[in-house]
A and B are shown apart, each in its own frame.
Chain A
Amino acid sequence: MLLFGKTFVKNPCLFAALKKNLFSLRNNPSHRFINLSQKTIIEPHMEDIIIIGGGAVGAFIARNLSRYDCDVLVIEKENDVGDATSMANSAIVHSGYDPVPGTKKARFNVEGNRMFPLLSEELDVEFEPCGSLTLATEESQLPMLEELYKRGQENGVPVEILTPEQVLALEPNVTKDVKGALRCPTAGIINPFTLVAHAFENAIDNGVKLHLGEEVKDIHNLGDRFEVITSKGAYQAKMVINAAGVASEQIAKMIEDVPWSIHARKGEYFVLDHFAPNFVNHVLFPLPSEKGKGVLVTHTTSGNYLVGPSSEWVDDKDDTSTDSPTLEAVRASALTMVPNIPFRQQIRTFAGLRSTPSTHDFIIEPSKAAPNFINVAGIESPGLVSSPAIGKYVAEELVAPKLGLKEKANYNPRVRKYVCVHKLSQEGKERLVAENPHFGEMICNCEKISLGEIEDVLSRSLPALTIKAIKKRTRAGFGKCQGGFCQPKVLFLLAKKLGVSPMEVLYDREGSEILDKESK
């Protein structure tokens, strides 16, 4: 395991690279760095597989491939993994009652759902199989509930229809006008940030390489291999997997003119503080429509509440802005299901983009022009829950047989256990702090995140290079003060770890420094 900070100190060429393109990670010592007029060029190194995209799909393909004896490189354009669609979604482990039977969505959703109990344990990710209720609030919707019930059964998902009395007994805050609900006990909620991060950590622990802050610019099909040109260098690989989310159409077209397209569909949300436990206990959905699953109300694994998303087509595949009329409509829609949502507990609004495919189903197939180039595109909802099953399928069925990969004897499916101080018993806290006093020093007061927890994240094989990365891994800065008190502490810890000036520490993307200059 090579730590980022150590790499930095030992490698003066990397320092130049960092100055120019802060925070790119190279943890493959076989690469040779050549510093030419401030540009870092890397001599092509032959990989077995290059994965483009460090989201949930890329994470689980990488993790599944790390079970085999092969060289895998993941290239992500953002400065952290899971920094786009995988970070800004409803964080639901859907049961799978909703996709049309026979589709890839139905298959991978149901398969993925079944993987979560073990997966969440291996990767130490917060997961609650809390179940979902899809609510009918008008008599006219009851036939549709029946329809969904049948669809659920066809997909092999446990479902039952509840009476209004049963619904209100389970969820007293739901509207008294409720006419019935479809209950899916196998639905759940997951921490989407650590799901992706820990999957990558596990993949890296098992030998996968990850390059952050590096954008793929072009791909050349050389017949027996591919050359991938990025913003920082060139690489060669026997196989390339396109898991580039909203950019996957653009990446696919570097190889051939594909017959499908990917459009960005924006979803805007409210996040509420953890003002009370059990305000809602299930994921509450309205009945789905053409535009998707509609505005849901759910608790999150951190005890917050999430209300959203909207559904709007956007041209700019980087447009995650929010706007008042849309959020107002989200609010109004949610209030029809749960009339007393305390919106004054709002601590954040955000938006994410879905990669919606023109085919209406996930695209998981080799390119026609180049069979060793695999597109994994259009992974919109239920993408998060499907990603572990997609990763398994791509690795086992599409890659391993083609490259004749052999399973490793020493593959370890587990990440090192994470510590969460505030979830421990009093005795547990006492023991932990006695062992390592840093777990007793609170950095984030709102979410009760200790110095020890942040240091732990900074010591892992998966780098946390930005303030937002630390926020996503630990929740420091996620609370009601939104980092007002803890951000400076995190910033200075990060500067020390990375060996850079506090003024070079990034919030997220390149150019997102928090500090401008020293005071007079």
Chain B
Amino acid sequence: METRELVIIGGGSAGMAAAISAYDQGIRDILILERGPFLGGILNQCIHNGFGLTYFKEELTGPEFLTRFVNETKKRGIEYKLNCNVTSLSRDKVVSYISQEGAKQIQAKAIIMATGCYERNAGAIGIPGERPAGVITAGQAQLYLNEYGYLVGKKVFILGSGDIGLIMARRMTLEGAKVLGVAEIMPYSNGLNRNIQQCLIDFDIPLYLSHTVSKIIGKGKLEAIEISKVDEKMRPIPGTERRFECDTLMLSIGLIPNNDLLDNIGVSVSSTRGSKVNEHMETEIPGVFSCGNVLHVHDLVDYVVEEGKVAGLGAAKYLQGQLPTHENVLYTKAGEGIGYVVPSCIDLANAEDKVQLKFRVRKPRKDVYVEYRLGDKVLRRMLKPAIIPSEMEIISLDKKLLEGEGELTVSLVEKEAK
């Protein structure tokens, strides 16, 4: 069986960033396995701009952003294989993959998962009504349009105010389709503020907050949808139905980590539906790392590549024997008002001087303190004038602060309660 120091599964932005960082730490025997015909993953179909503002301090399109990473990957001579589908992993790090060249297995010393995410779809949420053609996820509509050159419909309604849906509302409008509206089940929008402005408000597309699609109508092809206002438990309120005749219902209702390979071998899962990792993005299997959208769904690719670099550095350290057995592990916890915290634990023996936490709030809040607590001890409290679920929060804490008993809890505290 072929052996490799480091196998990276997925050649998107997370995978390439991880490869580059591992290489720069001195690892030379690296192989990226990418299922698509190009490196870059989903960015290949994201032809709009807005990428790279944080990382490169300039505004790039998806293909421009990925090209920079492809160039860096190629410059280092990092090996990659395209059109390869990894079919399984084993806990002792055998990677099985298949391509037109054959079905092969590699014994890896370290593995980085960078397999991205997939879209939540109509089946997953079971929208009431029929199941005709014309109900499509926003990313799939984007794929048809940007990679194949076809429009999926003329009269479009969008469910969910996730960023891909907003981007597609603008894109479909520019292509001549009529976007009738966007329904969002929450009382606030779920996309980035700049996308609400640039993709909906600028094009006079109405946003129906606290509304959902309560019925899909049409036998072969979508004919109409019905939207309803929802109550506080997000159930449609009878009598509030509104009908829209349309041929397309585009869904932008969330992304889910594509974590099958690790799920199938029973690696512990966190509330993000990605694996539980430590501060080096290492899972419970020593030498197996996870980063990017397969770990937790990010709003900006800039943060994905930062996380890929952390995983790449971690894998390099692991291969160089610098991640000794796990001792003195500190667990993190999502407290009041917090949806999740990544990483799930911090390995204090191995951690760098600064430890980064990423988290999202459950719902929009104004004038709250974000509190970091170790056991009962408050480490830090920061006032946030406004904080929203669609924007991931990142904070660095001094490792020195983290010595002590108990879990590291992130929570929101009302201003008055201080």
- Judge: A and B partners, yes or no: yes
Residues of A in contact with B (beta carbons under 8 Å apart): 270-271, 275, 318, 320-324, 327, 346-350, 421-422, 426, 429-430, 432-434, 437-438, 440-442, 445-446, 448, 450, 480-485, 487-488, 492, 502-503, 506-520
Write the chain B residue with the least CB distance to A432: B103
Q: Is B198 an interface residue (CB 8 A)?
A: no
Q: CB within 8 Å of A: which of B150-191?
A: 150-154, 174-176
Given the known A-B contacts A322-B126, A323-B128, A327-B126, are A515 and B98 also in contact in the complex, defined by CB atoms under 8 Å? Answer: no
Find chain B residues with CB under 8 A from A480 CB.
Answer: 118, 124, 256
Q: How far is the CA of A323 from the CA of B154 in the complex (A)?
A: 27
Q: With A433-B100, A437-B101, A514-B152 known to touch, is A482 a contact of B145 (CB < 8 Å)? A: no
Smallest beta-carbon distance A295→chain B, Å: 16
- Using Cβ atoms and an 8 Å threshold, which residues of chain A touch B83? 441
B25 within 8 A of A: no
- Specify which chain A residues have a CB less than 8 angstroms from the CB of B99 in the assembled complex: 433, 440-441
CA distance A267 to B219 in the complex (A): 17
For B220, what are the chain A residues with a Cβ–Cβ distance below 8 Å?
506-512
- Among A440, A450, A481, the residue within 8 A (CB) of B101 is A440
On chain B, the residues within 8 Å of A421 by CB distance are 98
- With a cutoff of 8 Å between Cβ atoms, the chain A residues found around residue B126 in the complex are 270, 322, 324, 327, 346, 348-349
User: Which residues of B, 93-127, contact A by the 8 Å Cβ criterion?
Assistant: 96, 98-105, 118-119, 121-124, 126
Closest B residue, CB atoms, query A350: B131
Pick from A433, A446, A485: contact of B98, CB under 8 Å: A433
Q: Report the 9 A-B pairs with minimum CB-CB distance, sorted nearest first.
A: A509-B220, A429-B103, A507-B133, A348-B123, A437-B100, A349-B126, A512-B133, A442-B85, A512-B220
Contact of A513 among B219, B221, B256 (CB under 8 A): B221
Which stretch (B136-144, B381-389, B396-404) binds chain A? B136-144
Closest chain B residue to A271 by CB distance?
A: B123
Chain B's nearest CB lies how many Å from the CB of A502?
6
Q: Is the CB of A481 within 8 A of B118?
A: yes
Q: Which residues from chain B contact A321 at a C-beta distance below 8 Å?
A: 128-130, 215-216
| Residue contacts A-B, CB under 8 angstroms, 6 given | A271-B123, A429-B98, A430-B102, A442-B98, A484-B140, A512-B133
B136: nearest chain-A partner, CB-CB: A514
Give the interface centre of B126, B136, B175 by most chain A CB atoms within 10 Å: B126
A119 CA to B169 CA, complexed, in Å: 51
B136 / chain A contacts, CB cutoff of 8 Å: 514
Please indicate the chain A residues that have their CB under 8 angstroms from the CB of B151 in the complex: 515-519
For chain B, give the interface size range: 35 or more
In the bound complex, residues from chain B placing their C-beta under 8 Å from that of A513 are 133, 221
A519 touches B85 (CB 8 A): no
Residue of A nearest to B146 (CB): A519
**Chain A contacts of B102 at CB under 8 A?**
430, 433-434, 440
A313 to chain B, nearest CB (A): 18
CA distance A155 to B172 in the complex (A): 61
Q: Say whether B131 contacts A509, CB under 8 Å.
A: no
Q: Which of A318, A346, A422, A506 contacts B87 (CB 8 A)?
A: A422
A519 touches B150 (CB 8 A): yes
Nearest CB of chain A from residue B78's CB, rounded to whole Å: 23
Name the residue of chain B whose CB is nearest to the CB of A422. B87
Q: Is the interface of A mostly helix, strand, loop or mixed?
A: mixed
Least Cβ–Cβ distance between A336 and chain B, in angstroms: 20
- Which residues of A have CB within 8 Å of B87? 422, 448
Q: Is B149 an interface residue (CB 8 A)?
A: yes
CA A441 to CA B176, docked complex, whole Å: 36
The answer to whether residues A516 and B118 also contact, given A349-B126, A430-B103, A433-B100 and a CB cut-off of 8 A, is: no
Of chain B, the residue at the smallest CB distance from A451 is B100
Known: A320-B130, A422-B87, A429-B103. A484 touches B150 (CB 8 A): no
Q: Does B63 contact A (CB under 8 A)?
A: no
Once the chains bind, are B150 and A502 in contact (CB under 8 Å)? yes
Interface flag for B35 (CB, 8 Å): yes
Q: Is the CB of B100 within 8 A of A438?
A: yes
Q: Chain B residues with Cβ under 8 A from A429's Cβ?
A: 98, 103
Please state if A426 and B103 are interface contacts (CB–CB under 8 Å).
Answer: yes
B103 surroundings in chain A (CB, below 8 A): 426, 429-430, 432-433, 440
> Is B132 located at the chain interface by the 8 A CB criterion?
yes
A516 and B250 alpha carbons, distance in the complex (Å): 14
B247 within 8 A of A: yes
Known: A448-B87, A519-B150. A485 touches B118 (CB 8 A): yes
In the bound complex, how far is the Cα of B200 from the Cα of A298, in angstroms?
A: 45
Q: Once bound together, how far apart are the Cα atoms of A507 and B137, in whole Å?
A: 15
Q: A512 vs B175: C-alpha distance in the bound complex, in angstroms?
A: 21
Alpha-carbon separation in the docked complex, A510 to B218 (Å): 12
Complex Cα distance, B152 from A514, in Å, reads 6
B123 pairs with A349, CB closer than 8 A: yes
Contacts of A270 in B (CB 8 A): 126
A430 closest partner in B (C-beta): B103
Question: Within the assembled complex, what's the spacing in Å between the Cα atoms of A411 and B336?
Answer: 71
- Please measure, in the bound complex, the distance between the C-alpha atom of A498 and the C-alpha atom of B280, giving whole angstroms: 51
- In whole angstroms, what is the CA distance A482 to B119 when docked? 9
- A482 and B176 form a contact (CB under 8 A): no
Question: Is there contact, CB below 8 Å, between A488 and B144?
Answer: yes
- Whether B124 lies near A346 (C-beta < 8 A) is yes
Q: Bound complex: CA of A432 vs CA of B99, how far in Å?
A: 11
> Is B148 part of the binding interface, using a Cβ–Cβ cutoff of 8 Å?
yes
Residues from chain B with a CB closer than 8 A to the CB of A515 are 144, 150-152
* CB-contact partner of A516 in B132, B147, B153, under 8 A: B153
| Bound Cα distance A480, B255 (Å) | 12
Confirm or deny: B393 has a beta carbon within 8 angstroms of a beta carbon on chain A: no
B263 at the interface (CB under 8 A from A): yes
Q: Hey, which chain B residues are within 8 Å of A481, CB to CB?
A: 118-119, 121
Per the bound structure, the CA–CA distance linking A434 and B98 in Å amounts to 11
A421 to B96, CA, bound (A): 13
Extra A-B contacts (19), CB below 8 Å, given A421-B98, A503-B150: A426-B103, A433-B98, A433-B100, A440-B101, A445-B85, A480-B124, A506-B133, A507-B221, A508-B133, A511-B220, A511-B221, A513-B221, A514-B144, A516-B150, A516-B153, A518-B150, A519-B145, A520-B174, A520-B175
